[in-house]
Amino acid sequence: MAQEQAKRRSEIISGVSNVAYDLLALLYNQLEEIAAIEEYKIDAEDAGDQEMLALLDQIQQRAREEVDLLRTALSQRLA
């Protein structure tokens, strides 16, 4: 109960809804994933593992698509 009140209060004080905050957190996590995958791709390249590199490219592409969805959803809620 106290946590719910704190969330409502922070929404009022910050002017950012809890949903927008959640979207920001998701967006941040997706961007971190994309950056991490870049590191993994370097490892795959160094190992000469083309299959792993292709898999990482696919995963990274999906993450970029999710970033696009999250940016759209966030911009609608911050407008």
What residue has token string 């950012």? 16
Residue 7 lies in a domain: no
Cα(2)–Cα(41) distance, rounded to whole angstroms?
44
Instruction: Please report the pLDDT score of residue 16 as a whole number.
Output: 86
pLDDT in tens, 16-75: 899 999 999 999 999 999 999 999 999 999 999 999 999 999 999 999 999 999 999 999
pLDDT in tens, 8-29: 777 788 888 999 999 999 999 9
Q: How many domains does the chain have?
A: 1
Residue 36 lies in a domain: yes
Domain holding 53, by residue range, is: 17-78
Residue 53 lies in a domain: yes
Residue 46 lies in a domain: yes
Residue 1 has pLDDT above 70, yes or no: no
Cα(20)–Cα(33) distance, rounded to whole angstroms?
20
Residue 73 lies in a domain: yes
Residue 9 lies in a domain: no
Residue 4 lies in a domain: no
Instruction: Please report the pLDDT score of residue 13 as a whole number.
Output: 81
Residue 32 lies in a domain: yes
In the numeric block, which tokens belong to residue 44? 């795959």
